[in-house]
Amino acid sequence: MTRLFGTDGVRGLANKVLTAQLALRLGAAAAEVLTRDNRSGSRRPVAVIGRDPRVSGEMLAAALAAGMSSRGVDVLRVGVLPTPAVAYLTDFYGADMGVMISASHNPMPDNGIKFFSKGGHKLPDHVEDEIEQVMEDLADSGPTGHGVGRVIEEATDAREHYLKHLKSAMPQDLDGITVVVDCANGAASEVAPMAYEAAGAKVVAIHNKPNAYNINDNCGSTHIDQVRQAVLEHGADLGLAHDGDADRCLAVDAEGTIVDGDQIMAILALAMQDNGELRKNTLVATVMSNLGLHIAMREAGIKLLTTKVGDRYVLEQINEGGFSLGGEQSGHIVMPDFGTTGDGTLTGLAIMSRMAHTGVSLKSLAGAMKVLPQVLINVPVSDKSRIQSHPEVVAAMEFANDELGDTGRVLLRPSGTEELFRVMVEAEAEEKARRIAGALAAVVSKV
């Protein structure tokens, strides 16, 4: 049986793959598993549900609420808020579980369901496997009468609690900094500009008018040219671009040059090292991080650990090692002292706090890391599982590694959310990286 959960929850084309019927059963099964430890107390189990603005979120939120309340769980709906807000509020309200309905940076027709356990933590694989098993064996009926859960349609104070949390996490006065923020017509369309203004920055917000259909539509962190253009037009000090659920943040400097997640990690790692906040002098990243980050951290005397792709794996490594910073090249930055998952708005505040504290431009701060040319090709495939070990792919990998030697690297991996196989090559020269990546992608496509 194909596993339902991917690298970041359950995701698919809404009302085709991710249907209301599936969401109802998934919500009921998750309620059984995640509230099991609170079935004998005097208080009924509680779940928090949030979503991004895409149209199918309304349908899926209703289905999930129905599934969870049918299993005796009270449901607190917090409306349209970022993923990290839902994680924070799950802990703040003392809920037994949290649910975020979002497909992140994916196009509007897609949607996804992410679960959090008590405290706002993402689920480990074995818990997701248990939820899938319970779905298969789920009884059609649940408790009756007083045993049925209630659904509170909107928690009116949810947004304010999250904004207070952001302000307390990054209290630096940002007066004098002008920032353009691209909200991707997504979950941060209200809270990100409000948070940056509350910290003292002058904010120019773009793509902050979601209408249920325009999320990620030629905007946000997957279309960085929009914020680059706006930064130049407004003469801003920097630009920030969020994705649909605002758990990631990419930046551009005053000249419109992109500052990606690796560079952001370098900036924050050095800042935390200066302040004595980088626990065990260690940064956690993924195998996709640029070689330039490895070099910059080595030169700064910072240890860099790598994990599989996915912020959940970064989080696991952070929690296991007791570290204080990690993230991904895509802009998922995790600071566990302030949140249990990546938080794009918090990342934006941290970047601007470093600028304000040092009086240094983002361009200069990002210069601490030299980005090596990196080429990524996504190859559509029908069966991701058989590519990695195919003899022709293995031989092509060995040939590429021999050619690159110590001056670059090759990474092949299946996408965790789409039927794609990713071919990534780094080299000293972009032309060389493109040539080798193209040759490898052709082999993958052939087999």
What residue numbers does the annotated binding site for Mg(2+) cover? 104, 243, 245, 247
The three-state DSSP-derived secondary structure of 150-214 is CEECCCCCHHHHHHHHHHHHCCCCCCCCEEEEECCCCCCCCHHHHHHHHCCCEEEEECCCCCCCC
Residue whose pair of structure tokens reads 């649909």 in the numeric block: 244
- 256 three-state secondary structure: coil
Q: Which residues, in sequence order, are CB contacts of 362 under 8 Å at separation 6+?
A: 237, 238, 251, 253, 254, 259, 351, 355
Q: For residue 6, which phi and psi values (nearest 5 degrees)? A: -100, -155
Residue whose pair of structure tokens reads 């970041």 in the numeric block: 8
DSSP state of 280: G
Question: How far is Cα 337 from Cα 114, in angstroms, rounded to an integer?
Answer: 22
Half-sphere exposure of 424 (CA within 13 A, CB side): 18
Catalytic residue among 104, 289, 330, 353: 104
Task: Clarify whether 104 is annotated catalytic.
Answer: yes
* Binding region: 104, 243, 245, 247
Q: 40, exposed or middle or buried, with CB in 10 Å at 0-12, 13-18, 19+? A: exposed
Query: Parallel, antiparallel, or unpaired for β 374-380 and 420-426?
Result: antiparallel
Cα–Cα separations (whole angstroms), residue 315 to 78, 283, 309, 322 = 25, 11, 11, 10
Tokens of 231: 């930064």
Residue whose pair of structure tokens reads 């670059």 in the numeric block: 408
Q: Which helix (H) or strand (E) holds 424?
A: strand 420-426
Q: Which residues, in sequence order, are CB contacts of 223 under 8 Å at separation 6+?
A: 216
Residues that are catalytic? 104
